[in-house]
Amino acid sequence: MKNIFLRTTGLIMTGLIIANLFVVISGIVISDEINNFEKKTNSLHRINLTLEKEVAKLSSLKFAQEQAKEFNFINSTAPQYIDQLKYAQR
């Protein structure tokens, strides 16, 4: 009776040790994947910031002015307002 109890206790302990090793190893693998995802997320964030800056530069009036000078659009016209009498009567 004592011999059966010792064997079953030994088997249970061995099973628990194996299960514990499996949990620890899977936790390490998952933490490595999380670190990789964080690195990729940070890289994408930096790329996104540079793209946002580039879009802001391209949509700015300063960029439009530089492009106008490059294509020789030098003449500027006076703005036309709708509240002027000749436009309001149409």
pLDDT for the residue 12 = 95
Distances (CA, A) of 1 to 4, 9, 53, 68, 79: 5, 12, 78, 98, 104
- pTM (2 decimals)? 0.55
Residue type, 7: R
Residue 90 has pLDDT above 60, yes or no: no
Cβ–Cβ under 8 Å, residues 86 and 80: no
Query: For the chain, give me the number of helices (H) and strands (E)?
Result: 3, 0
Tokens of 26: 């899977």
CA 86/CA 78 separation, integer angstroms: 15
Every domain of the chain and the residues it spans:
2-73
pLDDT tens, position by position, 32-62: 999 999 999 999 999 999 999 998 888 888 8
